[in-house]
Structure 1
C-alpha cells in the first residue's frame, strides 16, 4: 500500500524563486537563506528518501482563485498544471506533473471522510507551490516527483482553523494508506512564518513565537492545533496564518516523528524563513 514517509515544511517567499531564477544564490543577501536547504536537497536526492509523490499544501495568491471563488480546501486532479503568470511572466520552471489516479483517490477518500474538498481540473500554480519545489530540487529539466496540489484558503477571512487543518492531515494519512499501489508519499506544508506585508505593523517578525512553533511540531503538536486565529494575527502578523498549512503536514505524519533538519533565517523579503524536515514513525 501507499505510505507517508516524511513531511517537509517551508516558507514559499516569492523572492526566493526570483533569486534562483536569476542566479542570485551566491549573493550576500541570499546565500545564508539558501544554505539552509542544502542538507534537504542532498537528503531528498537519496533514493532511500526520494518520494514518488508529494502532496503539496500551499495557498493560491489570487492567481487561480479570486473573490468570485474561494474554496477552503481544493485538490488538483488533472494530469498537469502550468506555472502561473503572476504579472511578470511564468516562472522558468517545469510543468507540474500530477499522479491523477492517486489525486482522485485522495479526493474520494477525503470527501467520504466528510471533508468538503473542491476538485480542480484546470488551474495554474503560483509561487506558493513552485518555490518550495525549487528550494528542494533546484533547477531540473523536469520535477523528479509527481505533485498533488492541495490549496488552502488563508488569504480571505475566514480561513480554516488549525484544528481543522490538523484533522485534514489525519484524513490524508488514512486516504494514503487505503491506496492499493506501492507509493512513497511525502506531505509538504508551505507558507509563513511570521510576517505582515501591509499596514502599521508591516515588517513584523516574531522569532520567539516561530521557534516555539518549530519546537512543538515534534514536542507538542496538540498545542499547535488549538492555537486560535487571533493569536496568529496578534503574534505573527496578518500573513502568519499561512502556518496552519504546516499542521496539515504534521497531522498526516501521525503520532511520533523525528526531526531531521531545521533552518530558520530572518529576514527573507520581510518574512521569517522557516524550514523543517520530519521523518514519520515506521
Structure 2
C-alpha cells in the first residue's frame, strides 16, 4: 500500500529560481534563506520518497483569469515548465505518475471533491521553485532528470472566490485517504507551497506580518484547525492579499496524521518582500 512519509512547506518566491540558476544561494542576501532548506534536503535524502505531490497555485501559465478551477490535479506522465513572465529559465521536464494520479482523482471525487483533471499541464514557479530549493537545479536541455516523480495539485488562490482554509484542510484529509488506499507500494511526500505573509500591490504593498506567520507555523504543526476559524478576508487582513496562499499548507497538513512529528522549522524575512517559512513534518518515526 502507498504510505505518506510526511510533508514539507515552502514559499515559492519567483526570485528563488534565478538565485539558484545564477549561483547566488550563498550570497549574504540569500544564504540564511537557503540554509533553512538543508535539514529538509537531508530528510528527503534519508526517507527517499518515490512521489512528491506538490500543492501550489498557478500564476497564469496553465490557467488564466477567464478559466480558473478551484482544485486541479495533474494526470499526466510528463509536466513541462515554462516562464510566465519572471525571466526564469525553463527547467527539465518533470516525470509524473498518471496511474497514481487517476486513482487520486477517482478517490477525491468519491469523497465529494469535484476535482478538475488535467491530462496536459504546464507548471510554473509556484511548482518549480520549491522543488529546486529541495533538489537543486535541472536546466532544460542539460540532460539531467529530476530524481523523483511529481504530481501537481493546483489550488486557486488568485481569482476570487478562493477556497477557505477549512476547505483546504478537508481536501488534505481526503487526499490522505486517497493516497493510503492506493494498492501499490509508493512512498509519498506532500509539499505545501506558497505564502507566507506578503502583498504585492496597493497601499499595503510590502506588508509582512511576522507575528501572524510564526503563529500560523506553530498552529499548523499542532492545531491546524485553528486557521479554519478565519474567513479569507480575515486572513488577508493579517497576511496580505497574497498571504492567502498559506491555506495551501493546510492541504499538506490535512493529509498527515494528527500527531505528525516536527522534524524542522525555519522562518526568514525578508526575501523579495515575503515572509518565508519551511516546515518538515514526519508521519511517524521511520527506519532510515
Determine if contact 1:10/1:189 at 8 Å carries over to the other structure. Answer: yes
2:241 corresponds to = 238
1:157 corresponds to = 160
Rounded to whole Å, the distance in 2 between the matches of 1:39 and 1:145 is 18
| TM-score, normalization by structure 1 | 0.96
Determine if contact 2:166/2:228 at 8 Å carries over to the other structure. Answer: yes
The offset of 1:91, in angstroms, is: 2.8
Q: Aligned ranges for residues 196-275 of structure 1 at < 5 Å?
A: 196-275=199-278
Determine if contact 2:263/2:280 at 8 Å carries over to the other structure. Answer: yes
CA deviations over 1:42-73 (Å, ceiling 9, x no partner): 22112xx1211111100000111012211000
The offset of 1:120, in angstroms, is: 0.7
Rounded to whole Å, the distance in 2 between the matches of 1:219 and 1:78 is 34
Determine if contact 1:266/1:273 at 8 Å carries over to the other structure. Answer: yes
Q: Aligned ranges for residues 70-89 of structure 1 at < 5 Å?
A: 70-87=68-85
Question: Which residue, 49, 52, 55 being the options, matches 1:51?
Answer: 49
CA deviations over 1:8-62 (Å, ceiling 9, x no partner): 011000101110011111211111111111121122112xx12111111000001
Rounded to whole Å, the distance in 2 between the matches of 1:218 and 1:139 is 29
The offset of 1:232, in angstroms, is: 1.1
Give the count of matched residue pairs: 280
CA deviations over 1:180-210 (Å, ceiling 9, x no partner): 0011111111000000000110000000000
Rounded to whole Å, the distance in 2 between the matches of 1:106 and 1:10 is 23
SS at match of 2:109: helix
The offset of 1:264, in angstroms, is: 0.6
1:125 corresponds to = 123
Question: Which residue, 104, 107, 119 being the options, matches 1:106?
Answer: 104
The offset of 1:225, in angstroms, is: 2.7
Alignment root-mean-square deviation, CA: 1.2
Stretches of 4+ moved more than 3 A in 1? none
Deviates more, 1:95-104 or 1:218-227: 218-227
